[in-house]
Structure formats: structure tokens, C-alpha cells
Amino acid sequence: MPKNREQDVCEVKSVDKAKVMAVKKSMPSDRDMHNLSEIFSVLADPARTKIIYALSKEELCVCDIANILGNSISAVSHQLRILRNMRLVKFRKEAKRVYYSLDDRHINRLFNEGLKHVRE
Amino acid sequence: MPKNREQDVCEVKSVDKAKVMAVKKSMPSDRDMHNLSEIFSVLADPARTKIIYALSKEELCVCDIANILGNSISAVSHQLRILRNMRLVKFRKEAKRVYYSLDDRHINRLFNEGLKHVRE
DNA sequence: TGATTATTTGAACAATTGTTCAAATATAAT
DNA sequence: ATTATATTTGAACAATTGTTCAAATAATCA
């Protein structure tokens, strides 16, 4: 997203080297951190959190999801593509319709943990 | 972020009204959903997840946080402002330095739940 | 076959994001 | 007072996001 001209990034002097070393050492890998924020990104949009909530309750076709959210079908379909790419949802076709459902064990726990946070 | 010209949004016909009604009824409020995705947004950036992880281990000054992340001090300070505004971190001044620490019980559980997800 | 319905897709666009750079504060040391 | 150090702040900017619109598929029906 930014420019990252890789300049004066970290000629930054450490104040407490021991602490810094310890934290650096225990820090999860960049790869893990990247994946972690990626999964949180999915939940960082109200339309997507609503879709995930809805699908945690019922298997639904695109049309009914759009109806529940109050969004256009196209917008919902775009969001579903993101969820599909992240393998959070699966789908099956029935006649003209496509039915989506959750395809991830953990995502619901994440959702509920977040809701707890919101509600204090 | 978008335009939302509020057009043909939901002349969308419902296929299974019973399901749609049931899900709509149990759906958390728009306010809750907004707050929920807002808290997930905070974790949707690797720099911020790293800061949160670091502060879960140690109280740290801005300089040392920058050192741990390998980011500029300015970038870190901007991110800390976001975390401050969300009341996820608190700080105290000591001489010229400002020490930050976590100020939220739940955020760590959210982080760990997410990490579990990432690591399958 | 052609018409209808459900969904997907891609381009366009405004809004938002996260970083950099430079300048402003704040605090301590000389 | 002046200097040095630590942090914050605001403007600028490129990248990304999420929606709309129009057109493309897919599947069923007359």
C-alpha cells in the first residue's frame, strides 16, 4: 500500500536490548503474521462479517444473502469470491441457484471472540 | 469507501423467506457489526499485529517497538495512535521516552484465536 | 430455439489505508 | 539559552478497498 523507500528504517537505536532481543525471538514468523492479518482483514468489513454470521446459521443462496444484508447481488457476489478464495466458504449448485455455507471450523470462534470483545 | 447510490439494492426477491427472516432476526445489530469489523480492522495490518504481540510480552518505548518491527519511528507512532484511539494500549512517560503497554483484556485472546486459525 | 432467471465478472471510481518526509513538541543535558 | 534526543503530527502520495454498472455465463423453461 505504501512506498517503503527503505530509508532510515531502523538506524533506530535500541534502549533495552535484552527486552528487544527477547521479543524479537519469540515473535511469530513474518509469514504467520502476514496470514494472521490477512484472516483478520476478511472480518474487517461489515458486509463480510454479516455474511459469515448468516452462513453460520443457514446455508443460503446468493439472492437470500443479498436480501439479508440489504446489499446488491453483485456486491455480495464479489464478497463471496473473497471468502471463497480464503476457503472460508463452500458452495453447491442447485438448478439456477448457488448455495453457500461455511467451510471453516475456526472462523466462527474468531467471530464470537470478537463479538465478546465488542460487547465488553 | 464506495458510492452506494442506493439503487436496485434489494428489490432482491427472497427465495426462502422463513430462513431469511430467521437469520435477519438473530443477526447482531448494525452497530455491533460495525464495531466488530472495526476491531478486526485493527488486527488487519501486520505492523499492528506485531505491535500488539510485542506489547503482550513487554512494556516498550516507541523506539524499541520500531526496532523490533523494523519500521520507522514515525510509522510506528502513527500505528500507536490508532491503537490508542481504540483504547487497546495505554502509555506512560518516563523522561524523554513514552512507554506503551496493552490496555485490553480481550485483544490477546483474539490474537491467539487468530494464530490458531493460521496454524490450522 | 429464444426468453428468463441467478450468478459471476471486469472496468471504473471514490474512499480509505499506511507509509514517508518534514516540521512541530516535549523533555532533558550542557 | 542552546543543543540533543524521543515522540507526535500533518500533508502528500501510492496502493488497496468495496461498491456500482454493464456485460458475460449458466441453467431452466416456454
The pLDDT-based confidence of A5 (bands split at 50, 70, 90) is: very low
Residues of A in contact with B22 (CB under 8 A): 57-58
HEC-encoded secondary structure of B7-26: CCCCCCCCCCHHHHHHHHHH
B89: domain range? Answer: 17-118
Distances (CA, A) of A108 to A49, A67, B41, B107, B110: 10, 22, 17, 16, 12
User: Nearest nt (C1') to A62 (CA)?
Assistant: C7
Residue A28 Cα, gap to closest chain B Cα (Å): 9
The confidence score (pLDDT) of residue A18 equals: 95
User: What number is the average pLDDT over the span B62-68?
Assistant: 97
Other residues' Cβ atoms within 10 Å of the Cβ of residue B99 = 18
Question: At A14, is the pLDDT very low, low, confident or very high (cuts 50, 70, 90)?
Answer: confident
Asked whether B26 and A57 are in contact (CB, 8 A), the reply is: yes
C-alpha cell read off for A104: 471453516
| Mean pLDDT computed over every residue of chain A | 91
Evaluate whether residue B111 is within a structural domain: yes
Q: For residue A59, which phi and psi values (nearest 5 degrees)?
A: -75, 135
Instruction: Report the alpha-carbon distance of residue A66 to residue A71 in Å, rounded.
Output: 5
Q: Is residue A43 one of the residues assigned to a domain?
A: yes
Which bases on strand C have an atom closer than 7 Å to a protein beta carbon? 5-11, 13-23, 26-29
- Pairwise pLDDT comparison (A12 vs A19), residue with the higher score: A19
At residue B31, the pLDDT reads 96
**More confident of the two residues B9 and B19:** B19
Asked casually if ipTM beats, i.e. exceeds, 0.85, the reply is yes
| Residue–nucleotide distance: A67 CA to D8 C1' (Å) | 46
CATH number, domain of B23, equals 1.10.10.10
What φ, ψ does residue A105 adopt, rounded to 5°?
-70, -40
Phi then psi for residue A14, to 5 deg, are -80, 140
pLDDT surpassing 70 at residue A6: no
Q: Which three cell numbers stand for residue A84?
A: 471463497
Listed in sequence order, the residues at least 6 apart from A120 whose beta carbon sits closer than 8 Å to its beta carbon are none
Cβ-nearest to A40 among B40, B68, B106: B40
Give the number of residues written for chain A. 120
Average pLDDT value over all residues in chain B = 91
Q: Residues near B12 by Cβ (< 8 Å), separated by ≥ 6?
A: A63, A66, A67, A72, A73
Q: How many Cα atoms occupy the beta-carbon half-sphere of B36 within 13 Å? A: 25
Distance CA A70, CA A83 (A): 18
Q: How is residue A32 written as a grid cell?
A: 504467520
Indicate whether B74 belongs to any domain: yes
Residue B5 forms part of a structural domain? no
**With a CB-CB cutoff of 8 Å, which residues 8-47 of chain B face chain A?**
8-10, 12-16, 19-20, 22-24, 26-28, 30, 32-37, 39-41, 43-46
Question: Strand C and chain B: which residues 20-59 have CB closer than 7 Å?
Answer: 41, 44-45, 47-48
Say if B90 falls within a structural domain.
Answer: yes
Q: How far is the CA of B74 from the C1' of D11 (A)?
A: 14
Per-residue pLDDT reduced to its tens digit, A86-99: 999 999 999 999 99
Q: Is residue B106 part of a domain?
A: yes
What is the rounded average pLDDT of the residues B95-106?
A: 95
Nucleotide with smallest C1' distance to residue B95 CA: C27
User: Would A46 be classed as within a structural domain?
Assistant: yes
Which of the pair, B21 or A8, is modelled with greater confidence? B21
Q: Considering its fold, how many domains does chain B have in total?
A: 1
In a domain, B3, yes or no: no
The residue assigned the cell 490496555 is: B103
Contact A97 B66 (CB under 8 A): no
CA A61 distance to own-chain centroid: 21
Query: Crossing angle, helix A46-57 and helix B17-26, to 10 degrees?
Result: 120
